[in-house]
Structure 1
Amino acid sequence: MMSLIQRRCAASVLRQSLGSARTRTASTPISLLPTRWNPLQTNNCSIATQPLNLGRSSHRTFSSGRRMASAPHRPGGPALPAYIWMTAVGTTSMIGYFYYRYLEEVPLTHRKRWIATSPQWEWQLGDQEYQKLLKQFQAKGHVLPPDHRASITVQRVGSRVAKAALKFAQEHDMAHNISKSPYTYTVVRSEMANAFVLPNNHVFVMTGLFKYIQNEDDLAAVLAHECSHNLARHAGERMSSSIVTNFLARLSLLIDPSGAIFTIFLPAAAVFRELPHSRTQETEADQIGVYLAAEACYDPRAAKRVFAAMKKGMENSAPPEFLSTHPSHESRIQHFDQWLPDAMKVYNGESDQDGELSFGGGHDRCHHVRHQMQSARKQAAHQAALREQSN
């Protein structure tokens, strides 16, 4: 006996053949289909069935089978709500305002940078850090007493450099950003060849640096470099940069709570942003420093000698420049060759055509000052010898 499906397929074929030959009559329909018809059965003699779609219907044409859209297509898409683009415009405008509002220019180099911190806040933080470090060094017994020969020499040379820094600030209309507090010079017993400055005029000098220093001109080159950091407000610039970096780091945690972006962002920011930025600041301090030393009547050529000696002594321990906070010694020596001709004009009391180097004071100025410095050195050495004999 023929199965139900076979009978239906045979009936379908028979109807098609009879319809094409026009032999069927209206009164005698030919059908081998049973009286009961299954609505789930397909019309292609297949035993597979399709479930009813009780969800959203998809309309198809019988001719092509393509999906028909239930609504006309809108090429432009839905417009953004007004509050979204107004917020975006307002935020962008606010960021642009604050950027240009706190944009400052570095003297002499004319580099523009963004500083959001106030000088007073920087000085306050500098005082706090100074007290903290001073207590740490004193607790270890590493701070040299004020009557030590090294302390007296650093204080005497530093005071002249500080006066030159104040004059530099006045001539470049930046005296309002410079602290009027006197400089403090702290000499720390350490094998490390280093010196650093804190906001509000606090300078620390490590005794390990003295093995590269032969005279007061060399010492003045180092102290002038540190004073230049304060003149250029490099500490405030670093604080402002850290504000942006920390904001972006926290924003990355909102985007990726797992912290994967955060762990990649911080090292990348250090290598591609913070380290190059630090090297730029060090180069600026070198450039300003040679002019401060020259204004204080110390030979500006000493800066090149100091870094050449440090290059020779630290040749095997220096990291690659792109991984360092400081430029390589080779780069610094090359830069000094560019700046020294103008710095020597200041040292010799020559005038400059563009007015950029307006220190000067006559050809005999530094000759007279250096004679005074020689007398001061002799007097300091005599007093130190008397103290040592009394002890």
Structure 2
Amino acid sequence: MGWVDVFRRGRAAVPRHSWSVFGPKRRLRSVQPVEMLRVIRFPHLNLVQTHVQPSKFQTQLVRWGTVLAVTSATYQFLTNLHTVPITGRTQVVVLSREEECELGNKTAQEELAGAKTIDDGPRLQLCLDVATRLVSVSEHLFPREYDWRVWLVDNPSSANACCAPGGKIIVQTGILDLIDFAVQKGICRNKHDALAVVMAHEIGHALARHTAESMSMLPLMYLQLILGMESPLLEYIFQFAFNLPFSRSQEAEADHIGIMLLASACYDPSEAPRLWKAFTAFYADPEAGEGALDMDFDWVSTHPSNRKREKALDALVEAALELQRSSSWCAFLQQKVLELVGANTEAELLHHIRAAMTEARAEEAHATSGAERTQRRRNTIGAIHELESQEMLKVIRGEAAQLEQ
């Protein structure tokens, strides 16, 4: 039996009733005639095809609907343009101030749920003093629109702080440990200026309304989801091309606002780049616990690298110092503090403070006009943009603690 017989028997082994699975029941010719390739038009299809053209009314409806949608989107865009303070950048924020504050209250409640807050002690007082000073200056420079609150959370494992929309500041004790490390290593000069860098950055986020701006970008996020449903690659491209760079730009802008704000509050702006140098040293120090070395390539992160932030802030120090020098009350406040802190005991310090306040009130009483009284008060008491006496006392105590270190 040759191979031809085997081949034939193999083909015959397949039953004829199953040929529909392995091949067509009817063998087609290899070349179809031309008449078999022409499109056959059926009467009912021709009738449908002759009526698919839109009417004039439908065309006008689509046209005016498109114009209305574009006009509405343009109106929403133009009526929600805002200017970021200090940097002057134009942003789009759809949320109102009331909605933003409500969102901040809910966010703060979620962050504080189950957290162990510290309600007393020198660390909390340090945070309150620095925040009071920065907020007082920010409210003089910008409209008073937020209900500022400060919480200190006992969390040594987190060297972080955040500010929810509406002025809700949450500080983790881990950031205070990092500041202590920076002062002990000689990287930062004192705790007050270093903490002012952190809190001014967070206040900068609130003043720039970064959270509300991010939520205004939700339509783009919906576009990301729509595109990402069919292609995960497009979702990653959108993430690395838009989301992460946008977040890093907001962080850099908060650094810019923060250094100008702390300079206006008479803190040392040169402490800002030193703090980020301390961040790098802290996580590189084996005794600081777990932590990864800072990476210069930050394209996979929501924050710029510590080294990049250090360089960017170092470039802004001179402008911040110039702003501080233009505020004559800063030099006067520092001089007044040096005079008052000469005492060795708190009783003598308070005596000098009361004497300075009494002298200020006396000069205010001799002033003839309201404008003159205001100017006398600024020149004599050295108040940070007309702080109340109790807040001024906190500021002076904070400066005294700095000089004693």
Matched residue, 1:112: 90
SS state of the match for residue 261, structure 2? Answer: helix
Aligned equivalents of 1:86, 1:54: Cα separation in 2:
39
Aligned-pair CA distance for 1:379: 8.8
Decide whether the 8 Å contact of 2:225 with 2:235 is kept in 1: no
Alignment RMSD: 3.1
Aligned equivalents of 1:323, 1:50: Cα separation in 2:
62
Aligned-pair CA distance for 1:53: 7.5
Based on CA coordinates, which of the two structures has the bigger radius of gyration? 1
Give the partner amino acid of 2:315.
Q
Aligned equivalents of 1:130, 1:52: Cα separation in 2:
71
Alignment of 1:41-120 (within 5 A): 55-56=40-41, 81-120=59-98
Matched residue, 1:185: 151
Change (3 A) 1:85 1:292: same
From 269, 293, 314, the counterpart of 1:337? 314
Matched residue, 1:207: 173
Decide whether the 8 Å contact of 2:266 with 2:330 is kept in 1: no
SS state of the match for residue 269, structure 2? Answer: coil
Aligned-pair CA distance for 1:162: 1.1
1:136 aligns with 2:114: yes
Deviations 1:111-164 (A, max 9, x none): 1111111111111011112122212213xxxx22x2122111111111111111
From 325, 350, 353, the counterpart of 2:302? 325
Decide whether the 8 Å contact of 2:161 with 2:172 is kept in 1: yes
Decide whether the 8 Å contact of 1:297 with 1:347 is kept in 2: yes
Alignment of 1:245-264 (within 5 A): 245-249=220-224, 251-252=226-227, 259-261=229-231, 263-264=232-233
Aligned-pair CA distance for 1:328: 1.5
Alignment of 1:213-252 (within 5 A): 213=179, 214=183, 215-241=191-217, 243-249=218-224, 251-252=226-227
Matched residue, 1:61: none
Decide whether the 8 Å contact of 1:184 with 1:202 is kept in 2: yes
Give the partner amino acid of 1:184.
V
Aligned equivalents of 1:212, 1:272: Cα separation in 2:
33
From 246, 258, 273, the counterpart of 1:289? 258
1:376 aligns with 2:397: yes
Give the partner amino acid of 1:238.
S
1:196 aligns with 2:196: no
From 252, 256, 275, the counterpart of 1:306? 275
Decide whether the 8 Å contact of 2:129 with 2:395 is kept in 1: no
Aligned equivalents of 1:206, 1:378: Cα separation in 2:
23
Decide whether the 8 Å contact of 1:212 with 1:306 is kept in 2: no
SS state of the match for residue 184, structure 1? Answer: strand
Aligned-pair CA distance for 1:287: 0.9
Aligned-pair CA distance for 1:190: 2.5
Give the partner amino acid of 2:162.
F
Aligned equivalents of 1:197, 1:107: Cα separation in 2:
17
Aligned equivalents of 1:49, 1:205: Cα separation in 2:
82
Decide whether the 8 Å contact of 1:151 with 1:187 is kept in 2: no
Aligned-pair CA distance for 1:82: 2.2
Matched residue, 2:135: 162
Aligned equivalents of 2:76, 2:209: Cα separation in 1:
18
Change (3 A) 1:92 1:233: same
Aligned equivalents of 2:100, 2:69: Cα separation in 1:
27
Change (3 A) 1:51 1:95: closer
> Between Structure 1 and Structure 2, which shows a larger proportion of helix residues?
2
Q: Which structure exhibits the higher relative contact order, with contacts defined as CA atoms closer than 8 Å and separated by 6 or more residues?
A: 2
Aligned-pair CA distance for 1:340: 1.1
Matched residue, 2:370: none
Change (3 A) 1:164 1:122: same
Aligned equivalents of 1:51, 1:202: Cα separation in 2:
77
Change (3 A) 1:374 1:54: closer
Deviations 1:305-324 (A, max 9, x none): 10011122335443531111
Q: TM-score, normalised by structure 2?
A: 0.63
Decide whether the 8 Å contact of 2:224 with 2:238 is kept in 1: no
Decide whether the 8 Å contact of 2:337 with 2:396 is kept in 1: no
Change (3 A) 1:198 1:86: same
Aligned equivalents of 1:95, 1:49: Cα separation in 2:
55
Decide whether the 8 Å contact of 2:133 with 2:395 is kept in 1: no
Aligned equivalents of 2:37, 2:178: Cα separation in 1:
91
Aligned equivalents of 1:184, 1:284: Cα separation in 2:
22
Equivalent pairs, count: 287
Deviations 1:55-110 (A, max 9, x none): 449xxxxxxxxxxxxxxxxxxxx999222222222222221221111111111212
Decide whether the 8 Å contact of 1:347 with 1:366 is kept in 2: no
Deviations 1:333-366 (A, max 9, x none): 2222221112112333x2xxxxxxxx54363233
Aligned equivalents of 2:37, 2:263: Cα separation in 1:
93
Decide whether the 8 Å contact of 2:194 with 2:272 is kept in 1: yes
Aligned equivalents of 2:203, 2:318: Cα separation in 1:
21
Aligned equivalents of 2:333, 2:62: Cα separation in 1:
66
